[in-house]
Chain A
Amino acid sequence: MRTTAKQLKAGGIFVAIGAFFLATSLSTLEIGSTLRMGPGFLPIVLALVLVALGLGVILERRGGEDEEETRPVPWRGLVFITLAPLLFALLVKGWGLAPALLAMVATSALASRMMRPIQVMIVTVVLTALALLLFSYLLQLPYPLFASTLATMAG
């Protein structure tokens, strides 16, 4: 029986992560002895185990029940779902909570292939309003709705 692509990828990820942590701990952390363990002791041991398990994932024989993934990768979703919190992060300090929320909800709504433009707009407006009501009004989170209101109050 041969190794499937899935096994190779999964195992590869673990080997890479393990190797990365192993290299970092070996170069920056002290191992110490078993009596007085340095900060590097457990990281080195665990990183080695992780590399070994990664190889194990690649070599493991599974009785044919590990079928290859047939579901398509939602590329569109991946792009928009990761973009949305990033936009929020970029806007919340400089522009305020309301614009940041609006941008985030709109971007995330675009992640679905099933949504027509008009639906995206409705979802965006309704969810942003609900979120502002919940977080700003009910939960009283201490972030200004618009950054400029803070600026005018200060100036």
Chain B
Amino acid sequence: MDILANLVLGFATAVTPENLLYCLIGTVIGTAVGVLPGLGPSTTIALLLPFTFALGPTPALIMLAGIYYGAQYGGSTTAILLNLPGEPSSAVTALDGYQMARQGRAGHALAIAAIGSFAAGTIATFVIVLFAPVLTSFALEFGPAEYFSLIVLGLIFSVALAHGSVVRALAMVVFGLVLSLVGTDVTSGEARFTFGRLELADGINFVTLSIGFFGIAEILRNLETEGRAGIVTKVIGRLMPSRQDLWRCVPPIARGTALGSILGILPGGGALLSSFASYSLEKKLSRTPGAFGKGAIEGVAGPEAANNAGAQTSFIPMLTLGLPANAVMAMMVGAMIMQGIVPGPNVATAQPALFWGLIASMWLGNLMLLVLNLPLVGLWARLMTIPYTWLFPAILTFSAIGIYSLNGNVFDLYALCIAGVLGYVLMRLGCEPAPFLLGFVLGPMLEEHLRRAMLLSFGNPAVFVTRPISAGLLLLAVAALVAIALPAVAKKREKVFVE
């Protein structure tokens, strides 16, 4: 099948009324949670996972995807109007966007953020269309040894590109891997770490862990700083920037899109790193670097394009290799598994309608976001005034009912409380939940490929370094680890995230 046939299939799938509806629902929810402080896409997707069961796999994934990129749009709205990034990835947008808002140019900032995001989203969708099949056919050649090394590489990279302590992130990955082994061992049929509880025979529930670590723990984290609110900028002003301003923003948007598309593919990168990288690049290239931080429109356009492009292309490793690049993608993989789809290179060939439909829906979703966001920005801005005291009981209610509706089992609710408190304690100690979730999702795959590789090599572990692709992947993983251990790189890495 060539690209055109794939695209036709994709759009034919995406424009069915059901899929269009769920795309719209996803993008609307996404924008809303992007705007609402204290509620992000990971939390929302975790909360909605149990309810996607009833939908088919295609509408379920289309909706979840819509929430993710929709939140990138919504997050910039709060960053600009409130100096409160709704999402970490729009933290950079706040730097210049909020300054523009204070100068009465909030409308311009919002418009350029939406336009930049749309342009980047469109281009990134085509990047996916071009690259996904290449990676898929490459990955289909992989044996178990290559796959094992690829997972190791993915996990290490996600740690290297995350911010904060690398050792802690690695420990969280391994903790996730260990917990994923709880339950019946597929090969021997033996129960592992179940302590006689029947509820644990199928393993620890992925949804329970996600909601505990991302829903409950976040609520507790937010209750720490209760009672501090920002001031909403009331005047939005004219929306459309002048033609001169728009023209000035073309190169930053183009560079941001390129940066985001590349960084998004790397595990652990995604939207967050892209926007930081784009901001420093624009500042470096600018003829007036002093204007940055004081309301430079390029400082909004570049990072906004970059984070949206990064959000889109982070679907590539998830769709083609079954390798999630961040917590949201880990949840998408979890949703696929719950729907009975085995993530990996086979998705494109076995489920072409799902695969291409999802990709096409992203472009349609971006179009919907552009239409939804600009005229309705006043409405969205009003969402910000919802106090957190209303939000968190609602989040908790959603969590508990969602979890209970999975199996009608109260054991899952106890597990939710334990996961929530544990997640909170770890978060407070500087251990991020995202690497943990990646480890948990990839654990069973890691063990299966390790076992198969060992069987095929007659128990010789050297297979991982004697097969060239596997050796190359492991070498990259080691190089990444060595690189972050070097003091010079470590310092630079801190600096990127501080800026």
> Which residues of the other chain, B, contact A82 by a CB distance below 8 angstroms?
417, 420-421
| C-alpha spacing A130/B144, complex, angstroms | 50
Indicate the member of B190, B399, B461 with the most A CB atoms within 10 Å. B190
Q: What's the nearest-Cβ distance from chain A to residue B450, in Å?
A: 7
Determine whether the beta carbon of B430 is less than 8 Å from that of A53.
no
Cβ–Cβ contact A85 & B416, under 8 A = yes
Number of interface residues of A (CB under 8 A): 74
- Size of the B side of the interface (Cβ < 8 Å), in residues, is 68
- CA distance in complex: A23, B414 (Å): 24
A92 CA to B416 CA, complexed, in Å: 16
Instruction: Check: B51 CB closer than 8 A to any chain A CB.
Output: yes
**What is the distance, in angstroms, from A50's C-beta to the closest C-beta of chain B?**
5
CB distance from B159 to the nearest CB of A (A): 11
Contacts of B171 in A (CB 8 A): 10-11, 14, 50, 53-54, 56-57
* Most B CB within 10 A of own CB, among A29, A57, A71, A112: A112
CB atoms of A46 and B178 under 8 A apart: yes
Q: Does A121 contact B (CB under 8 A)?
A: no
Asked whether, in the complex, the Cβ of A86 is within 8 Å of the Cβ of B178, the reply is: no
Task: Check B273 for interface membership: any CB of A closer than 8 A.
Answer: no
Q: Are A57 and B167 CB-contacts (below 8 A) given A39-B187, A42-B450, A104-B397? A: yes
Q: Which residues of B contact A30 (CB under 8 A)?
A: 188, 190
Closest-CB distance, B452 to chain A (whole angstroms): 10
Task: List B contacts of A56 (CB < 8 A).
Answer: 167, 170-171
Bound-complex Cα distance A6 to B425 (A): 11
A110-142 interface bits toward B, Cβ cutoff 8 Å, 1 = contact, 0 = none: 011111000100011001001100010001010
- In the bound assembly, the distance between CA atoms of A11 and B346 in angstroms comes to 39
Encode contact with A along B389-432: 1 for CB under 8 Å, 0 otherwise: 11011101101110111001010011011001100111011110
CA distance A130 to B390 in the complex (A): 12
Once bound together, how far apart are the Cα atoms of A47 and B455, in whole Å? 23
Contacting pair B192 A13 (CB below 8 A):
no
Docked complex Cα distance between A19 and B290 (Å): 53
Contacts known (A10-B431, A47-B178, A77-B219); A84 close to B167, Cβ less than 8 A: no
Whether a CB of chain A sits under 8 angstroms from the CB of B185 is yes
The answer for the CA separation of A40 and B178 in the assembled complex, in Å, is: 11
Contact B454 A37 (CB under 8 A): yes
Q: Which chain A residues lie closer than 8 Å to B193 at the CB level?
A: 21, 24-25, 43
Q: Which of B224-271 contact A (CB under 8 A)?
A: 224-227
**Alpha-carbon distance between A124 and B396 when the two chains are bound, in angstroms:** 12
CA distance A71 to B227 in the complex (A): 13
Residue of B nearest to A86 (CB): B417
Nearest B residue (CB) for A112: B389
Near B by CB (< 8 A), chain A positions 8-62 give 9-11, 13-14, 17-18, 21, 24-25, 28-30, 33-40, 42-43, 46-47, 49-50, 53-54, 56-57, 60, 62
Contact A57 B168 (CB under 8 A): yes
Q: Within the complex, which residue of A39, A114, A141 is in contact with B192, where a contact is CB–CB below 8 Å? A: A39
B420 to chain A, nearest CB (A): 7
Q: A85 with B400: in contact, given A17-B178, A34-B460, A39-B188 (CB under 8 Å)?
A: yes
Contact at A135–B454, with CB atoms within 8 Å?
Answer: no
| Bound form: Cα–Cα A84–B414 in Å | 11
C-alpha spacing A78/B219, complex, angstroms: 9
Distance, CA A78 to CA B430, complexed state (A): 18
Contacts of B403 in A (CB 8 A): 85
| Bound Cα distance from A109 to B219, whole angstroms | 12
Query: In this assembly, does B220 line the interface, its C-beta being within 8 Å of a C-beta of chain A?
Result: yes
Say how far A141's CB is from chain B's closest CB, in angstroms: 6
- Of B165, B177, B220, the residue contacting A74 (CB under 8 A) is B220
A sample of 28 inter-chain contacts (CB < 8 A) reads: A10-B171, A25-B192, A30-B188, A35-B459, A37-B454, A40-B192, A43-B181, A46-B174, A50-B178, A53-B171, A57-B171, A62-B165, A63-B494, A66-B430, A74-B224, A77-B220, A78-B421, A85-B400, A93-B410, A104-B400, A108-B392, A108-B396, A109-B389, A111-B223, A111-B393, A114-B226, A123-B389, A130-B394
User: What are the 8 tightest A-B residue pairs by CB atom distance, in nearest-first order?
Assistant: A35-B459, A77-B223, A10-B429, A89-B410, A39-B185, A74-B223, A53-B171, A89-B413
